[in-house]
């Protein structure tokens, strides 16, 4: 009887571990915040710890026009962004508080597969990723104030 119980316990552990490992590669539900830019609202998935910040928007083939990602950092810093495994051209917007510090557009790797990367000039405590072209369309530039709804 003890052998049967031990076998069942081991099987349960293997099944739970397998479920955990298979879920690791899948996108987990993230908290969301709303940002208002020039009167237009965007729903942003929040990436506020290493695992979600590393994953970012990589692996996605599209992004709805009113969606994006908000990266929140514990301390202001010069956080570099790159396009590894990212298939969507993106506007990257660095913020300190509610003020835009820097804006760049990055594109997915093409040809030789070289990954675009940008090292910002200014420290930021938040970074927003939106579809490429949104920043130009809404005239988002250094000094622009963005209204983030909700608090961290």
Residue 63 has pLDDT above 60, yes or no: yes
pLDDT digit string (tens) for 87-132? 899 999 999 999 999 999 999 887 666 678 899 999 999 999 999 9
pTM of the model: 0.77
Is residue 120 a contact partner of residue 130, using CB atoms and an 8 Å limit? no
User: 């993106």: which residue's tokens?
Assistant: 90
Domain ranges of the chain: 29-148
* The listed CATH number (3.40.50.300, 3.20.20.70, 2.60.120.1140, 2.70.50.30) that belongs to domain 29-148: 2.60.120.1140
Residue 24 has pLDDT above 60, yes or no: no
Confidence of residue 30 (pLDDT cuts 50, 70, 90): low
Q: What is the pLDDT of residue 128?
A: 96
């Amino acid at each position: 009887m003890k052998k049967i119980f031990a076998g069942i316990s081991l099987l349960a552990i293997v099944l739970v571990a397998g479920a955990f490992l298979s879920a690791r590669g899948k996108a987990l539900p993230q908290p969301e915040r709303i940002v208002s830019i020039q009167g237009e609202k965007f729903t942003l998935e929040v990436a506020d710890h290493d695992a979600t910040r590393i994953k970012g928007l990589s692996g996605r083939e599209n992004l709805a026009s009113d969606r994006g990602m908000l990266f929140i950092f514990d301390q202001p810093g010069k956080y570099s962004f790159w396009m590894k495994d990212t298939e969507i051209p993106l506007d990257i917007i660095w913020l300190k508080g509610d003020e835009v510090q820097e804006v760049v557009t990055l594109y997915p790797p093409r040809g030789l597969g070289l990954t675009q990367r940008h090292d910002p000039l200014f420290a930021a405590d938040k970074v927003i990723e939106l579809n490429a072209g949104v920043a130009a369309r809404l005239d988002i530039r250094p000094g622009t104030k963005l209204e983030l709804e909700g608090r961290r």
